[in-house]
Amino acid sequence: MNKLNDDFAAIAEKINELDDMDYSDERYDELEEELHDLEDAFIEEFGSELEEAIALVHDEFCPDNEVLLPIAYFAKNYIKLRKDNFGKYSYDVEFGEGVPVEVDDFPDQEVRLVLVPGPTRLLVTVGEKAKQEAWRAK
């Protein structure tokens, strides 16, 4: 689990680095390639476990929606929070990040699923007001 969290945090840092950069930056393509390599290795090692977890959350919250590859649930930017007792950062996301899904309990609201590191977990966000942890890696 530590490797999952560490690898995902490295991806989040690379995502943030790219998000802060203009496409015209000469380093952009190189960093984007590094991100894709990190994502590929991450999916190779943890993809099936994450897909199972995402499928369980879909079954509970949005059974009519298709389960996508785990990287589809990554945010476009992560909010870096504080360090824990082991010196590792936790992360959060803004509302509006992740994959939009249809949830019967919230028919007129924007609901999204997003994977977040530190610790690795899947959040359900509803509109601009509510976030709920639906799954956490153990």
Cβ(30)–Cβ(104) under 8 Å?
Answer: no
- pLDDT tens-place string over residues 47-61: 999 999 999 999 999
Nearest to 88 by CA among 117, 122, 118, 116: 118
Tens digit of each residue's pLDDT (9 = 90 or more) over 82-108: 888 888 899 999 999 999 999 988 888
Q: What is the pTM of this model?
A: 0.93
Per-residue model confidence (pLDDT) at position 86: 83
Return the pLDDT at 107: 86
Can you give the pLDDT at residue 104? 87
